[in-house]
Amino acid sequence: MSFNALFIAHAPDADKAIHRSRIETGMYKLLTIIVKSQAEALEVCNELVEKEDIHSILLCPGFSHQDVAGIVKATGNKVAVVVARGDGQSGRIVQEAMQKAGYRR
Q: For the segment 5-26, what is each residue's pLDDT rounded down to a tens digit?
A: 999 999 999 999 999 999 999 9
Q: Provide the pLDDT for residue 19.
A: 98
Q: For the segment 45-104, what is each residue's pLDDT rounded down to a tens digit?
A: 999 999 999 999 999 988 989 999 999 999 999 999 999 877 788 888 878 888 888 887
For residue 30, what is the DSSP state?
E
Domain ranges of the chain: 3-100
Flag whether pLDDT at 27 surpasses 90: yes
Is the dihedral angle over the CA atoms 89, 94, 97, 102 positive or is it negative?
negative
Q: Provide the pLDDT for residue 41.
A: 97
User: Is residue 62 a contact partner of residue 95, using CB atoms and an 8 Å limit?
Assistant: no
How many Å separate Cα 4 from the centre of its chain? 13
- Please tell me the distance from the alpha carbon of residue 4 to that of residue 53, in angstroms, as a whole number: 7
Helices 38-51 and 65-74 pack at an angle, to 10 degrees, of 30
Flag whether pLDDT at 105 surpasses 70: no
Task: Provide CATH code, domain 3-100.
Answer: 3.40.50
Full-model pTM: 0.88
Q: Provide the pLDDT for residue 45.
A: 96
Contact residues for 93 (Cβ-Cβ < 8 A; gap 6+): none
